[in-house]
Amino acid sequence: MAHRVVIIGGGFGGLYAARALAKAPVEVTLVDRRNFHLFQPLLYQVATGGLSPADIAAPLRFVLRRQKNTRVLLAEAIDLDAERRRLILDAGELSYDSLIVATGARNDYFGHAAWKRYAPGLKSIEDATEIRRRILAAFEAAERETDAEERRAWLTFVVVGGGPTGVELAGTLGEIANDTLKDDFRNIQPRESSILLLEGAPRVLPAYPPELSQAAERALIRLAVRCRTGVRVVGIDREGVDIETASGRERIQARTVIWAAGVAASGFGEVLARRTGCRLDPKGRVYVEADLTLPGRPEIFVIGDLAHARDRDGNPLPGVAPVAIQQGRYVARLIEGRLKRSSVGPFRYRDRGSLATIGRAAAVADIGRWHFNGLAAWLAWIFVHLMYLVGFQNRLLVLIQWAFHYFTFNRRARLIAPDWRYFARSREGPLSGPNPPEPAVPVG
């Protein structure tokens, strides 16, 4: 019987591991709760109405349909029997010879679970359509509002976290307020919106070289985004955000708050810790060996955002797509090597650099010794993102929408759902406006 490889998670790590095993003499089962691979780097564009969910979601079965040694199973992994090498699913069990765990990360509110309701993070399609709904609904509520102070609160948008995702979100919000919605309303001027980007470090994009942080801040200022650095968020409720700065405590009245401040590893790390005795770091990530296996469990690999792996200098690798992709391919090579009894060295991350975009023709690039920004960085960003987007059709459609967006400033994916009645209740219900009384029903 062929060597059985079970992969949990169809994100970058899991999908690239599966693809790299296409020609190996193994039987691959890819398990995911969702039927699609999500291209997370463009999720913020769904959250801001620039793209539709399907543009950045490739059906896993379709992507792997020609790979005859691979099957896709729509299921949730809930437990592990490490001794008998069996993965426990919500319905049934799976035996494995090698297990690749690539279940990724989720939003982390630093112990303030109550903030989640008022400040959604951006990890899933549902998160993105919910954020889109809140942004568009806030402008609608402002258009209807007669009280000036209330209206200002509706037109204040706070993004918590000045990393790449926060910068991308804030920059896009600036474009929406200044350009996209310019002529859409009769009672409000969307460009009078106040967009705040809050960051705890002394500068935005703290993982980038300082001159690129400055370039990003300048680009954000041109989009009327105000960056507030050295700021600690100490409270979030439905009316706004409480912050602490060097000069004391402060209150920001804002009806729309988006969380881009942190992620923690997904829950499967706890299953691994319980069942194999492996250790987790404070963010819930699993400490792995140099070959990405669990200590004492050479048949279990952990990759991507769930893994705490280190570079040559001992620094933990960042939770970005290139790390997950390279780890997925490395593990596939290692498994194939073991079957051939050829040895494969430890995992080495080849850092090809980082890119973050701010808005039209504005981005920053940190590629080896090259630090640059502006149009060249933006074009590099477009090229890299289209290259890694799965599916030729998706690439073409996204490129066309970007081209339209560039020349017309329009964003077409602007559906608010379920419907207006959630707002109508704003004066009566316990929650006001875009926080619906029931779980939101997003529509793509």
Which is the catalytic residue, given 140, 145, 168, 175? 168
Q: How would you class 357 by CB atoms within 10 Å of its CB: exposed for 0-12, middle for 13-18, buried for 19 or more?
A: buried
Give every CB contact of residue 23 below 8 A, 6+ residues apart in sequence. Answer: none
Residue 350 or 421: the one with the smaller Cβ distance to a second copy is 421
1: contact with a second copy by CB under 8 A: no
400: contact with a second copy by CB under 8 A: yes
Residue 207 or 417: the one with the smaller Cβ distance to a second copy is 417
249: contact with a second copy by CB under 8 A: no
147: contact with a second copy by CB under 8 A: no
Looking at residue 389, what DSSP letter applies? S
Number of residues in contact with a second copy under rule CB under 8 A: 63
74: contact with a second copy by CB under 8 A: yes
Cα separation of 339 and 23, whole Å?
13
Q: Which residues between 13 and 32 bind a second copy (CB under 8 A)?
A: 32
Span from 285-293, 325-333, 368-376, 401-409 in contact with a second copy (CB under 8 A): 401-409
136: contact with a second copy by CB under 8 A: yes
How far is CA 2 from each of CA 70, 90, 399, rounded to the nearest angstrom?
12, 25, 42
Residue 46 sits at the vertex; the CA angle it makes with 42 and 52, to the nearest 5 degrees, is 105
Give every CB contact of residue 192 below 8 A, 6+ residues apart in sequence. Answer: 155
Contact between 439 and 422 (Cβ < 8 Å): no
Other CB atoms closer than 10 Å to residue 61's CB: what's the count?
14
Among 163, 323, 416, 435, contact with a second copy (rule: CB under 8 A): 416
Residue-wise over 255-279: b if at least 16 C-beta within 10 A, else e? Answer: bbbbbbbbbbbbebbebbbebbebe
179: contact with a second copy by CB under 8 A: no
Among 379, 420, 429, 437, contact with a second copy (rule: CB under 8 A): 420
Cα separation of 304 and 20, whole Å?
15
Among 186, 341, 350, 369, contact with a second copy (rule: CB under 8 A): 186
Q: List, by residue number, the catalytic residues.
A: 168
| Interacting residues with a second copy (CB under 8 A) | 32-36, 52-55, 57-59, 61-62, 65-66, 71, 73-76, 90-91, 125-126, 129, 136, 140, 143-144, 181, 183-186, 391, 393-394, 396-397, 400-401, 404, 408, 410, 412-421, 423-424, 427, 439, 441-444
